[in-house]
Amino acid sequence: MRLLSLARAAWQAEGLYLRRSGRGYAIQAGFGAAAAIFGILMLVMLHIAGFAALLPGMGPVWAALVVAFADLVLLAIFGMLARKPPRDPVAEEALALRQAALRQMGDTATQALILAPLLRSQTLKKGAIGAAITAALVGFFNRR
């Protein structure tokens, strides 16, 4: 019964972790999309600035360059926000709970494997030897 409750807790923790971390990645993708939009706008403004540079006079060029510089600043801000990995304390706690439940499931299964020869055997001596051999094998494979 304990094994099933641990499996259920691990399953629920995994679902919570995936839902919460997915939300963070969606926000990160939104910031990346905003950075891409401002990058495209910056390129458009640089093209307008180049075109305006060919025109006589200095007014349109400087205005276009100022707008392009503002787009560059916004591009840098949104780009840095998109690079920052999402941190959600609830998702991290769910991941820790899942790992603890899986570790306890492994411990419970190991205990069952060690005790199985004792419960199956006809004599205590033969069961103790089987349990010792099983414990040695489980310990050997856990270290690998």
Express each pLDDT in 32-81 by its tens digit.
999 999 999 988 888 777 667 756 666 777 777 776 787 788 889 988 88
Domain ranges of the chain: 2-143
Q: Is the pTM of this model over 0.75?
A: no
Report for 11-15, 78-82, 105-109, 116-120: range of highest mean pLDDT: 78-82
User: How far is Cα 41 from Cα 67, in angstroms, rounded to an integer?
Assistant: 9
**Two tokens, residue 101:** 């439940």
Residue type at 22 in one-letter notation: G
Q: Rounded to a whole number, what is the distance in angstroms from the first to the last CA of the chain?
A: 29
**Two tokens, residue 49:** 């600035």
Residue in the structure block whose two tokens are 């390129």: 43
Up-side HSE of residue 87: CA atoms within 13 Å toward CB? 3
